[in-house]
């Protein structure tokens, strides 16, 4: 994202403020929310937020926790790369710009409390739920929905639950599934091109309101991040895991695997020791 674009979007004064130094400037920003892997701060302009990528790693609803130095920086750069490419397809998303090694400027959305999981190959929870062998290719791409609620352990739900409880309208869910399948097709090709199999991944969406008083006047946008934290990525030659399963399953080498994904995507990552 060019400085020129940001000048148009935010005004020159804010762009200058944002780019003052490349290190994070957490104390000056009001924290709004802290999640397991990210912190959300107030943005410099109405309708914007700042998303900060932590080094914290959690799994199994945060029962397993660690801090993995460099993970946040890697996810910030990898997600910037993928969100930008998905945006270029014409799928609207919250990402505006990477501000520094750990922060992104994003649009403020009303987050839809649903996790959309896409599976091409059986791995993770579907294997234990349905008794499948890991690595079984699915006959077709499977889209699953989970309620985003840590206190309930993000339970799997059907579209009927989504409509019954009003989490989305039917039209909204249709857009979400259509965007999700396009993203899956695109990312499957993108990763295959760098010798990586896209096994599964998780997306989140939100609503951007043009007018707060007109509830129908909104656009569905891709939110959150797309990184090896929320995708399963296997090396195409060896099936070696190159994603957060390295942490979930105590395999070690998480930073090296994320760094390898970044290298293959042609993303230059700063020195993680500095
Ligand atoms: P699962 O096999 O554990 O259901 O995960 C499916 C995909 O969703 C996998 O790529 C990891 C991702 N995921 C998240 O990003 N956040 C989560 O909280 C969970 C449970 C999975
Ligand atoms: N991020 C989730 C957690 O900490 C689960 C996962 O990614 O496996 O609980």
Residue 45 Cα to ligand 2 middle (Å): 31
Ligand 1 atom with least separation from CA of 229: 15
Gyration radius of the chain's alpha carbons: 18
Q: Helices (DSSP H) in 11-70: which residue ranges? A: 12-18
Please provide the size of the chain in residues.
274
pLDDT value at residue 182: 98
pLDDT value at residue 27: 54
∠ CA 98-101-106, nearest 5°, is: 30
pLDDT value at residue 15: 47
The pTM score is 0.92
Residue nearest (by alpha carbon) to ligand 2 atom 1:
59
Ligand nearest the Cα of residue 248 is 2
- Residue 41 · residue 19 · CB < 8 Å: no
| Ligand 1 contact, 230 CB (< 6 A) | yes
Residue 123 Cα to ligand 1 middle (Å): 10
Ligand 2 atom with least separation from CA of 124: 8
| Ligand 1 contact, 117 CB (< 6 A) | yes
pLDDT value at residue 28: 79
pLDDT value at residue 206: 98
- In whole angstroms, give the CA distance from residue 187 to residue 78: 13
Taking residue 94's Cβ as centre, other Cβ atoms within 10 Å add up to 25
- In whole angstroms, give the CA distance from residue 164 to residue 73: 39
Taking residue 189's Cβ as centre, other Cβ atoms within 10 Å add up to 10
What is the phi-psi region of residue 21: left when phi exceeds 0, alpha when psi lies from -120 to 50, beta otherwise? left
| Ligand 1 contact, 232 CB (< 6 A) | yes
pLDDT of the chain, 274 residues: tens digit per residue: 544 555 555 554 454 445 443 444 455 799 999 999 999 999 999 999 999 999 999 999 999 999 999 999 999 999 999 999 999 999 999 999 999 999 999 999 999 999 999 999 999 999 999 999 999 999 999 999 999 999 999 999 999 999 999 999 999 999 999 999 999 999 999 999 999 999 999 999 999 998 767 767 899 999 999 999 999 999 999 999 999 999 999 999 999 999 999 999 999 999 988 6
Residue nearest (by alpha carbon) to ligand 2 atom 5:
59
Ligand nearest the Cα of residue 230 is 1
């Amino acid at each position: 994202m060019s400085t020129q674009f940001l000048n148009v979007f935010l005004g020159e004064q804010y762009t200058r403020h944002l780019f003052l130094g490349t290190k994070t400037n957490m104390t000056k920003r009001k924290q709004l929310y802290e999640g397991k892997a990210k912190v959300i701060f107030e943005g410099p302009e109405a309708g914007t937020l700042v998303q900060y990528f932590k080094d914290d790693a959690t799994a199994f609803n945060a029962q397993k926790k660690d801090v993995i130095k460099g993970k946040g920086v890697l996810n910030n750069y990898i997600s910037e790369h993928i969100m930008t490419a998905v945006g270029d397809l014409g799928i609207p998303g919250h990402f505006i710009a990477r501000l520094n090694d750990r922060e992104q400027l994003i649009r403020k959305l009303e987050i839809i409390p649903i996790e959309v999981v896409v599976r091409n190959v059986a791995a993770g929870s579907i294997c234990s739920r349905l008794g499948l062998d890991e690595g079984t290719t699915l006959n077709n791409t499977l889209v699953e929905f989970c309620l985003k609620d840590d206190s309930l352990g993000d339970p799997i739900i059907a579209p009927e639950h989504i409509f019954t409880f009003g989490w989305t309208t039917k039209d909204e869910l249709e857009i979400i599934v259509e965007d999700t399948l396009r993203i899956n097709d695109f990312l499957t090709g993108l990763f295959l091109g760098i010798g990586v199999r896209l096994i599964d991944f998780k997306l989140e969406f939100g609503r951007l309101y043009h007018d707060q008083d007109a509830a129908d006047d909104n656009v569905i946008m891709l939110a959150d991040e797309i990184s090896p934290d929320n995708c399963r990525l296997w090396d195409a030659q060896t099936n070696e895991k190159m994603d957060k399963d390295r942490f979930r399953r105590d395999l070690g080498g998480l930073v090296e695997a994320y760094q390898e994904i970044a290298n293959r995507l042609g993303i230059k990552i700063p020195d993680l020791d500095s």
